Amino acid sequence: MSGPHYGWAGVLACALAVTGGTRYQAPPVSKMIASENRKVSARAGSLIAWGESLVDRMPIVRSIYNGVKQVAETVFSQTEAKFDKACLIQYPRPGVWGVGFVSTPAKGEVLAKLPADEVLTVFLPTTPNPTSGFLLYVPREDVIFLDMSVEDAAKLIISAGLVYPSPPRPPEPPAPPK
């Protein structure tokens, strides 16, 4: 190819010459943002739905987020079927402890087939995706109940041990009589 090469600037100059020099004026940034906000609101319905649509496009983040969301909805819902207490059990071998959730005492055929008299159903979630885990039937004497709430235990598990619940504050001593 002989002659000068003008690149994109040359193409733009030719386009302006062909269209009679009409220039495109970009709308102000605030109008562009408002337009995008309307598009997002119309498409997603809310900021949360828009954020979830972004997360749905990220394969690894999507699986972790959806798992955490399912467990949070289950643990934090105000229905009859919920975990009673957070606990510690030795799993997968003696001397190694895991945080679990006691759901119910074992019943029916499961209880009838087990040698212990009192057996608890314990869900031992995995970290950081607590929607997967192990359903274990553990003799009551092998379960150590924790004082922390189920919500605090869930935060501990989801954060992979990085977020510990605050210890309860000791009660204030009574004020001296006047």
Is there a domain that residue 23 lies in?
A: no
Rg (CA), the chain: 30
Beta strands in the chain (DSSP E): 85-90, 97-105, 119-125, 133-139, 144-145
Domain membership flag for residue 11: no
The DSSP string of 35-54 is HHHHHHHHHHSSHHHHHHHH
Domain holding 153, by residue range, is 79-158
Q: Residue 172: which pLDDT band, with cuts at 50, 70 and 90? A: confident
Q: Are residues 65 and 88 in the same domain?
A: no
Quick one: 89 and 149 in the same domain?
Answer: yes
pLDDT in tens, 23-82: 545 556 555 566 665 665 555 457 777 788 888 888 888 888 887 877 777 666 655 557
- pLDDT more than 70, % of the chain: 67
Q: What are phi and psi of 102, to 5 degrees?
A: -85, 125
Looking at the structure of the chain, the number of domains it has is 2
Distance, in Å, from the CA atom of 2 to the CA atom of 124, rounded to the nearest integer, reads 73
Task: Choose the final residue of a domain: 37, 71, 105.
Answer: 71
Q: Rounded to two decimals, what is the model's pTM?
A: 0.51
Give CA–CA dist 65/72, Å, rounded.
10
Give residue 42's identity as a one-letter amino acid code: A
Higher pLDDT: 147 or 48? It is: 147
The three-state secondary structure class of 89 is strand
Same domain, 66 and 123: no
Question: Does residue 126 lie in a domain region?
Answer: yes
Whether 45 and 95 share a structural domain: no
Kindly tell me if the per-residue pLDDT of 171 is higher than 90.
no
